[in-house]
Structure 1
Amino acid sequence: MIVERVPVVAALAPAEATLERLDPLSAAAARPVTIGAAILALAMPLVAVATRWSEVVAPAWLAVSLLALIAAVWLMLDRSRLSRPVWRAPSAQLLQLLLIVMIVTSMLSTLQANPVVRADWAPLVTGIVLIALTPYRPAREIALWAVVHTLICAMLGMMQAPWAVTDVPTLTYAVTGSLPVAALGFAAAAYARSLNGSIARWQQRAWAAAQETAAHQRGSVARSVQQQRITTLNREAVPYLSRVVDADELTDDDRAEARRLARSIRALLVADVERGWASTLLDDLVGRHPHLNIVARADDPDDLGGAATLEQRTLLRAIGELSIRRLAATELDLRLRSDEGRLQVQWLIATPKPTVDALRDLRGVIELVRGVTERSTADRREGRIALEFEYGF
């Protein structure tokens, strides 16, 4: 029985969704922008320190600040790599804590020696990092941390007011110290929410159209299955019945043939009833390429494929089709298992291509798998390409 489920994209609000999960290929394309933001974030403090070294009264705190920044940038670049799983909340929170350490220690390095009303480099760098996180973190999380960083920078700005030479209200230092991170952080959150909301709405319409098309095609699929049964009957049963009608009497061979045909037809009907979605998928993929000699096997005893969501089944079909078209696959093995409600998927693909070439040809689908699944891996195992992942979020 096929269980209809609401697509994942429909369940995620724009403030909770990420571009990396909604549109993994676009997030992968944003990687150069992330690298550029990281370079800018590292360059700004170096320029600021070089031009205002006289204001540094505690070089040790400056060193801690720069180390925290380097660690945050490294974490951001590492977690946004295509070979890494989707960025999870714990490491994202660690990055924000590193930014807080950077802000505080940067202020301590110039305490009592920064008398001019102006924005320091730490709030600007923090805002740049928040912008760089838009493809990977939810808009709500970015907005929350923008508030936290803004408040911290405002308090630190007010702490330096007693040593200022400009006669302005203390609140002015809070504004000038926190304005860069507030402007950049809230802009990043607004952009992420708008972009993710647009993509989510487009995907909902696309999945609705796909479901409507699938509903229209169910009748033709049922007729195709029925036609296969009729073809089997015409090829085996009808000639036998015609021979029996023309014969004067039934022989023992005729009775044995009747029993064999009965078992064959019964086995065919039982196989059609028990055939799971995974087996049907592989049969359809192989049937679309009759000129190729492909061995396909499905291991899905609980018919988890039939209970999967539409987008999950679409991804499985895309992997199988691309394996045949791009890798010239000679063997396809699909294994589906369930672990505490999480759908675990394993593809084993035999291909004559070298491992490096095969993984390069599957680069697009591997990026897609990384974006919409968890714990994804792609490597060579026992002479075959192994692609493993699981659904669960």
Structure 2
Amino acid sequence: MNAPRGIASETIVRLRSVPVERTPQRLDPLGVQSAWLLVPLIGATAIGYAVTSTIWHLDQLRSPSLAITGIGILLLAVVIATVRTHPGLAPFGRWSHVSVIGLAIVAACLFDASVWGRNLRIQDDWGQIAIALMLIAMPLYRPVLEVLVVAVTGAVVVGTLAALQADSLVIHTGSIVYATVAATPVLALAAGGAGYAWTMTGETLRWREIARAGQERLEGELRETARRQIAHESASAFEETVPFLTRILDQDEITPLDRDRAAELAGRLRALAVSSVERTWLDETVALALAGRDPASTAASGPHVHDPDRLDGVLTGEQRAIVSALVMTVSELPGLDPSTFRIEVGEPAHPAFLLTARVAQPRSEIRRELVPYLSALRSVSMETGLRVRAGGLTLRFAYPGRRRP
């Protein structure tokens, strides 16, 4: 099969082969978005426990300022985690992960420093609990192995600090016991979250195989819908052409107006023939999405997709599913003027898709409907942008590396 004109087959392979991390956020971006509220709730729990535990240790504090600073740094970690895991800023990257857990570890160290030499028990210290709580949700956003490495690092730090305090604690036992007591919550909660994410990832991959088979069936339906639409357009064109030719035969002469009319009909038939041959997946998707809107205004507006190089061929199955859902969502916006719906595709080296339309709706409503899909596209290695102003919607999604206008 020949590659679409304007884009080489090696470019398709390169863009479709961009490695995607095996995380629930990458594999099921819309599903993970619904779990985002867990992050601020878990963070608030960690902060609440830190404050409560610090109050319990008031008579053991050597340096209250260090304890307060530790709580402040933990608060910063919670804020970063809450902001960076928000669906509007996906994906949650490695350095964000390291920053969040690193700050939690620093906070735990500051608390231990604030009670050093006066601490009575390890069990009621909040450092290890805070780190463990912050790790619970991380497997949803980062690979399991990375989370476990970070968890082991945190466990080693708090375990070492606990072992070094063994001589000053009320209960005298081996340092290894206290190291185990401090490290266990970190490792246990991280392992629990990792196990859940691992199972979720496996189920998602199996679901994707089922969805891919369903998509192949759906593409057949799309092609059939496109054939019916082309047949309808052809019938409409011939309904005008046949009477015109019959009239020419009856009058036995051709006037200048007849020549102009013949050129117009020939142009329409030629355009219809070209569109039937060059119709792409994106054409069919848009046509199906707009089929429920006003057919008259939609048909009169002409083609809705301008993709001369047929660049939609670079989209993977996952990307196509998200783009299809995005197009369908835009088409169902109550304030959309379907005649203004356009998708321009360009830049073969780094394909960029520009969707524009006139939508008579408040900006907040439009953003609420579309931001989840933009987040999902970012989770599958694409760049996105959305601008809504003066009743106009401009939505961009592209492969990384494209030239920005």
Instruction: Give the total of aligned pairs.
Output: 384
Aligned to 1:289: 293
CA-CA distance at 1:73 after TM superposition: 0.5
Aligned to 1:310: 317
CA-CA distance at 1:68 after TM superposition: 1.7
Question: C-alpha distance in 1, partners of 2:62/2:391?
Answer: 61
CA-CA distance at 1:246 after TM superposition: 6.8
Structure 2 counterpart of 1:91, one-letter code: S
Long gaps (5+) in structure 2: none
SS in structure 2 opposite 1:326? coil
Say if 1:119 and 1:180, in contact at 8 Å, map to a contact too.
Answer: no
Aligned to 1:270: 274
Question: C-alpha distance in 2, partners of 1:100/1:242?
Answer: 86
Structure 1 residues 83-162: aligned runs within 5 Å:
83-116=88-121, 118=123, 120-162=125-167
Question: C-alpha distance in 2, partners of 1:310/1:126?
Answer: 38
Long gaps (5+) in structure 1: none
Say if 2:360 and 2:391, in contact at 8 Å, map to a contact too.
Answer: no
CA-CA distance at 1:202 after TM superposition: 1.2
Say if 1:332 and 1:350, in contact at 8 Å, map to a contact too.
Answer: yes
In the alignment, is residue 326 of structure 1 matched against residue 330 of structure 2?
A: no
> Structure 1, residues 147-177: CA drift from partner, whole Å, max 9, x if none?
1111112222222224345342221121112
Cα gap change, 1:127/1:347 in structure 2, threshold over 3 Å: closer, same or farther? same
Cα gap change, 1:132/1:151 in structure 2, threshold over 3 Å: closer, same or farther? same
Report which stretch shifted further, 350-359 or 193-202.
Answer: 350-359
SS in structure 2 opposite 1:327? coil
Say if 1:9 and 1:200, in contact at 8 Å, map to a contact too.
Answer: no
Aligned to 2:396: 388
Structure 2 counterpart of 1:326, one-letter code: L
> Structure 1, residues 125-149: CA drift from partner, whole Å, max 9, x if none?
1111111334333322222211111
2:360 to 349, 352, 359: 352
CA-CA distance at 1:193 after TM superposition: 1.2
Structure 2 counterpart of 1:212, one-letter code: R
CA-CA distance at 1:210 after TM superposition: 1.4
Say if 2:158 and 2:183, in contact at 8 Å, map to a contact too.
Answer: yes
Aligned to 1:20: 25
Structure 1 residues 156-175: aligned runs within 5 Å:
156-175=161-180
Question: C-alpha distance in 2, partners of 1:186/1:355?
Answer: 42
CA-CA distance at 1:322 after TM superposition: 2.5
Say if 1:5 and 1:309, in contact at 8 Å, map to a contact too.
Answer: no
1:378 to 360, 363, 386: 386
Question: C-alpha distance in 1, partners of 2:267/2:133?
Answer: 71
CA-CA distance at 1:40 after TM superposition: 0.7
CA-CA distance at 1:34 after TM superposition: 2.0
CA-CA distance at 1:329 after TM superposition: 0.8
Aligned to 2:345: 336
How does the TM-score come out when normalised to structure 1? 0.82
Question: C-alpha distance in 2, partners of 1:67/1:51?
Answer: 18
CA-CA distance at 1:318 after TM superposition: 2.7
Question: C-alpha distance in 2, partners of 1:268/1:278?
Answer: 17
How does the TM-score come out when normalised to structure 2? 0.80
